[in-house]
């Protein structure tokens, strides 16, 4: 919906007044917001060792953080009043396993990877703060997918995910592979594997399995 309201660019990369205008438009159109997916993200320049930690270009760090972290905060806070009007609101922040301090996957990118580490952390802080509301806050990792962002170099396309690859992507927050746990619902937040092999978390109160390759975390919900 936000893309429709703001065709010139993502709200996460737009000035604060544009984000506020989007909130007004949503209120006038729908009166509430059921789901917010913070999907905007940039990798930042990598030429000239710009993301080598020993020669790190701080302007690149600022640009990446402004979209990948500050943009998420900017949009989320502007839309919180509308989310609170929904019966079962959700916030999903799209992260990356490159932000995992345990996995340390992917190339060395000292602006992009830390931005996803911070996104994971800010997601946890939102979940803690909103634990007494109806809002559930999640983070997810779509994995390595052929898109503009990856230069279409990945073997997996957004519209085709082989069943054999369900559970192949680790959770960006915990480092646990999706579907690696088969604990019962009595263990809050633990992963469940359904009969069809799909991964889900009943403690989230969601009745659909996670998108293949995503890892839901029950942050803020027991």
Residue 213 included in any domain:
no
Q: How confident is the model at residue 19 (pLDDT cuts 50, 70, 90)?
A: very high
Catalytic residue positions? 112
**CATH at 170:** 3.40.50.720
| Distance in angstroms (rounded) separating the CA atoms of residues 156 and 153 | 9
Residue 220 included in any domain:
no
The count of structural domains within the chain is 1
Residue 211 included in any domain:
no
Residue 216 included in any domain:
no
Q: Which residues of 194-217 are buried (b: 16+ CB within 10 A; e: fewer)?
A: eeeebbbbebbeeeebbbbbbbbb
pLDDT at 176: 44
Beta bridge partners of 52: none
Average pLDDT, the chain: 74
Residue 25 included in any domain:
yes
pLDDT at 30: 95
pLDDT at 199: 38
The per-residue pLDDT for range 42-92, each reduced to its tens digit, is 999 999 999 999 999 999 999 999 999 999 999 999 999 999 999 999 999
Residue 212 included in any domain:
no
How long is the chain?
Answer: 222
Residue 221 included in any domain:
no
pLDDT at 158: 77
Query: Per mean pLDDT, which range of 37-41, 94-98, 131-135, 175-179 is the poorest?
Result: 175-179
Residue 96 domain boundaries: 2-204
pLDDT at 13: 52
Beta bridge partners of 37: 92
Mean pLDDT of 193-206: 36
Mean pLDDT of 139-150: 80
Share of the chain above pLDDT 70, in %: 65
The per-residue pLDDT for range 182-192, each reduced to its tens digit, is 222 223 333 33
Residue 46 included in any domain:
yes
The per-residue pLDDT for range 102-124, each reduced to its tens digit, is 988 899 999 999 999 999 999 99
CB 169 within 8 Å of CB 215: yes
């Amino acid at each position: 919906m936000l893309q429709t309201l703001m065709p010139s660019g993502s709200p996460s990369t737009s000035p604060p007044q544009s984000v506020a205008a989007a909130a007004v438009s949503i209120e006038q159109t729908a009166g509430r917001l059921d789901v917010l997916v913070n999907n905007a993200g940039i990798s930042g320049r990598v030429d000239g060792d710009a993301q080598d930690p020993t020669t790190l270009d701080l302007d690149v760090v600022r640009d990446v953080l402004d979209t990948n972290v500050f943009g998420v905060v900017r949009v989320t806070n502007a839309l919180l009043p509308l989310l609170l009007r929904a019966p079962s609101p959700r916030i999903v922040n799209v992260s990356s396993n490159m932000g995992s301090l345990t996995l340390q996957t992917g190339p060395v990118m000292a602006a992009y990877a830390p931005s996803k580490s911070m996104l994971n952390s800010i997601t946890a802080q939102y979940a803690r703060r909103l634990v007494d509301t109806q809002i559930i806050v999640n983070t997810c990792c779509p994995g390595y997918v052929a898109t503009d962002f990856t230069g279409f170099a990945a073997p997996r396309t957004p519209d085709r995910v082989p069943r054999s690859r369900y559970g192949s992507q680790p959770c960006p927050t915990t480092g646990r592979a999706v579907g690696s746990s088969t604990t019962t619902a009595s263990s809050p937040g633990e992963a469940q594997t359904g009969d069809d092999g799909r991964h889900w978390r009943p403690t989230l109160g969601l009745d659909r399995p996670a998108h293949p390759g995503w890892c839901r975390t029950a942050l803020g919900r027991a």
